[in-house]
Amino acid sequence: MRLPCRLLIPSLLLTTTLVACGSSGGAPGDVDDDFPLALVPGPASTPPMGWNSWNEFQGGINETLIEAIADAMVANGMKDAGYQYVNIDDTWSNKTGRDANGALQPDPGKFPAGIAAVADHVHVTDGLKLGIYGDRGTQTCGGYPGSQGYETQDANTFATWGVDYLKYDNCNASLNVETQYQTMQAALVQAAAAKPSPTPFVFSLCAWQFYQWGVTTGNLWRTTGDIKDTWDSIFANLMNDRSYAAYAGPNGWNDPDMLEVGVTDDEFSYSVNHTEYQSHFSLWAITASPLIMGNDPRTVTGDIKNILTNKEVIALDQDALGLQGTEVWESGDGNLSVWAKPLNAAGARGVVLLNAGAALADVTFTLPLIGLAGGSATVRDLVAQMDLGAFDDSYTVAAIPSHGTATLKVTGTEPPHPSGTADLSDLTWTYAANGLGPVEKDMSNGFSAAGDGAPISIASTPYAKGLGMAAPAAVIYRLNKACTSFTADVGVDDAASGQGSVVFQVWADGVKLADSGTLTGSNGMNPGKQTLTADLTGKRRLKLVVNNAGDGASWDRASWGNPQVICTAKK
């Protein structure tokens, strides 16, 4: 038996050392027509990248500063690394109110030349884009004029000024949140269309707990409260964000808040070390989070600049497949975890190993854990931008420092495509995201621990085979155009004791093939069980989705009873 590769990461050093490796020769990958997929068009095909003034400067902004930062983003290689948006946050407007025509106006002390002049500088001098901040209520979080009742006028003002991106906050608001965000969305669409050269706004929802409609309203939506420049805050935001992974995708991203990497002016600044900032960046990248820098690009130093401009880690974030990496393994004490996401190439996975504990630790993953077939694979350290060789079946990174990560790309072999009549719970999925702990095979979703469900039971019918999920959830299988049909019984599991409400959907290659409508756990009031079927002829990827249905995520234990695909022999 071959030894797994072992990688040493000496504490606080970026250098990595390969100390043992039991295999040679990489896996060729599974050659079929599943990859690569084309980039989905739109204003946020991949997670937005840029800079925002709030974390470092709060109210201390003005036009000279914003323009100097845009210039620095070009000079320091940030534009070249992919950062596009220069976003002015709260306090930019005239706090005393709107002008005589009701229009928002910039603070004359901070922006004497006006926002249009800043937009011009950012566009023409730097080739970057400008973002601005607003609020759905009567006032912003900082007490500046809000857009309630002025949505159309404000969207037109932003368009006239040449603004490309709006972060829209949720303070001082009493009206229906969904309606107000949708009103601004419609106003932005209309205002963008009226621009001389129409380009859609990126719409950033600075509101949380509204994920169902966020997906169709904004290009990114906050999943957490305000981030702080502390490790605990960074980690807490990551933990909160992971439950919503199923919602993320091209043009709609979960936003665990802006980066704290290199911030010096937060009340807690200087408590986060270099190892932790690297982890912050790597974890935002594996989770396909927006990369909005919060530091001062004018004074960025070597280490911080290296973290923020590392093109291989950025490529992990920006991968065109647009899947949010999920936590595929967690140690019993929650300190160690493995995060993975499929990349847009056959056999390729991004992997981040996290040691959130206080002591040095080894972290191991196996190939099936990250959705690959067992056997041989190669591994690359994305932070060091260095190939680490080949390994068989499992890989260990040794001595990961406290709060440290290993950021890897693994290239191996995709699992076999299904053939004949296949139970989905017997296959290795390409990707699984779940609202509460892992998707379970042949049991209902219990709570957050793996394997803590009960036998699947839908409307009193037991199922030996199946998948247990909690909304929102998404599971993807590769079919290689070799399958003809899908069938499953679906419903809220009896484990929910009459509670919960969900919607089951079957998608293939971006097209919805079946939709259960709302199914509830309340037996009797709603049949609670349905059979979903779909024609899979010629399809490459099957995606099973479970969404919340209006009443939040409470007890949304969604079970698929006997989900099967019927396929021809394996290609």
* Contact status, residue 205 vs residue 183, Cβ threshold 8 Å: no
89 touches ligand GLA by CB under 6 A:
yes
Residue 246's nearest CA partner among 540, 470, 517 is: 470
Q: Is the peptide bond before 36 cis (omega within 30 degrees of 0)?
A: yes
Query: Applying CB under 6 A, which of residues 56, 90, 392, 414 lies at the interface with ligand GLA?
Result: 90
Residues 6+ apart with CB under 8 A from 110: 61, 62, 63, 91, 92
Footprint of ligand GLA on 48-67 (CB under 6 A): 54
Whichever of 133 and 150 has its CB closer to ligand GLA, that residue is 133
Applying the rule CB under 6 A, the residues between 449 and 488 that interact with ligand GLA are none
Kind plus residue range of the DSSP H or E element containing 188? helix 177-193
Q: Using the rule CB under 6 A, is 433 a contact of ligand GLA?
A: no
Q: Is 493 a catalytic residue?
A: no
Task: Please give the residues from 331 up to 390 whose contact with ligand GLA meets the rule CB under 6 A.
Answer: none
Stretch that binds ligand GLA, among 35-43, 134-142, 312-320, 471-479 (CB under 6 A): 134-142
378: Cα within 13 Å, side-chain hemisphere = 14
Longest dimension (CA), the chain: 79
- Residue with smaller CB distance to ligand GLA, 202 or 459: 202
**Does residue 226 bind ligand GLA (CB under 6 A)?**
yes
Are 391 and 23 within 8 A, CB to CB?
yes
> Quick one: DSSP state of residue 46?
S
Distance CA 83, CA 130 (A): 12
Q: Select 52 or 547, whichever has its Cβ closest to ligand GLA.
A: 52
Instruction: Verify binding: residue 206, ligand GLA, rule CB under 6 A.
Output: yes
Nearer to ligand GLA, 93 or 411 (CB): 93
Go through the chain and tell me how many residues it has.
Answer: 571
Secondary structure of 108-173 as H, E, C letters: CCCCCCCHHHHHHHHHHHCCCEEEEEEECCCECCCCCECCCCCHHHHHHHHHHHCCCEEEEECCCC
Shortest CB 174 distance to ligand GLA, Å: 17
Report if residue 143 touches ligand GLA, rule: CB under 6 A.
Answer: no
- Measured CA to CA, the distance from residue 4 to residue 393 in angstroms comes to 7
Q: How far apart are the first and last CA of the chain?
A: 30
Q: Which of 67, 126, 154, 169 binds ligand GLA (CB under 6 A)?
A: 169
- For position 255 contacting ligand GLA by CB under 6 A, the verdict is no
> Min. distance of Cβ 130 from ligand GLA in angstroms?
16
Q: How far is the CB of 266 from ligand GLA (least distance, A)?
A: 12
Active site residue 515: no
Nearer to ligand GLA, 140 or 425 (CB): 140
Pick between residue 140 and residue 559 the one whose CB is nearest to ligand GLA: 140
Q: Which two tokens stand for residue 253?
A: 């991203």
169, 257, 319, 381: the active-site residue: 169
DSSP 217-252: H-SEEE-SS---SSHHHHHHHHHHHGGGGGG-BTTB
State which of residues 141, 187, 467, 503 lies at the interface with ligand GLA (CB under 6 A). Answer: 141
The reply on whether position 221 binds ligand GLA by CB under 6 A is no
Among the listed residues 226, 232, 426, 535, the single catalytic one is: 226
- The stretch among 31-39, 137-145, 467-475, 556-564 that binds ligand GLA (CB under 6 A) is 137-145
Q: Which residues are catalytic?
A: 169, 226
Q: Could you list the residues that contact ligand GLA (CB under 6 A)?
A: 54, 89-90, 133, 140-142, 169, 206, 226
